[in-house]
Amino acid sequence: MLIRKTTKNDIKEIMPIFEEARGTIAALGIDQWQNGYPSEAVVLADIEKNQSYLCEIDGKACGTFAMLENGEPTYDKIFDGNWLTGDESRDYIAIHRVAISVTRRGSGLSGKIIGYAECFAKALGRKSLRIDTHRGNVVMRRMLEKNGFLHCGTIYLENGDERVAYEKII
């Protein structure tokens, strides 16, 4: 498997993976990632910020995610808990928009993405990984806990939507 930076040429392969993920999340009965999110514009913005990644197996796209090196503003305030590395710490990498093709789910790809993010964060001297998800996204929550993340509390997105927040010390 290869993990590399996403290019604009990869968008046509990434968007169907997001569409599959939206379907899976909708089947859970939750509203996360509905109404076309993440859109092509969001993916383009991630590419332009150099924070979008593509997973390939045998030259075929099978997953995608974003990593933010400079903090996540919605993580500045956490409620009903605390970050493991401290609420004021900016010593983390934020992971967003993780999506895996239906054909590769259950193959350990999510663990490889987390491992890649850990190596990336260590190379930058960061202490942890942070991520959030919808409270009802039991599939994502199970994956995070299986990969060593601990539930830290609640954060609120810019639009006010609640998300459960996780952190993993590396």
d(CA 33, CA 22) in angstroms, rounded, equals: 6
d(CA 127, CA 85) in angstroms, rounded, equals: 8
Condensed to tens digits (0 to 9), the pLDDT of residues 89-135 reads 789 999 999 999 988 877 888 999 999 999 999 999 999 999 999 99
Based on the number of CB atoms within 10 Å of its own CB, is 141 exposed (0-12), middle (13-18) or buried (19 or more)?
A: middle
- What confidence score (pLDDT) does residue 125 get? 95
Q: Is the pLDDT reported for residue 154 higher than 90?
A: yes
Contact 64, 52 (CB under 8 A): yes
- What confidence score (pLDDT) does residue 56 get? 95
- What confidence score (pLDDT) does residue 87 get? 76
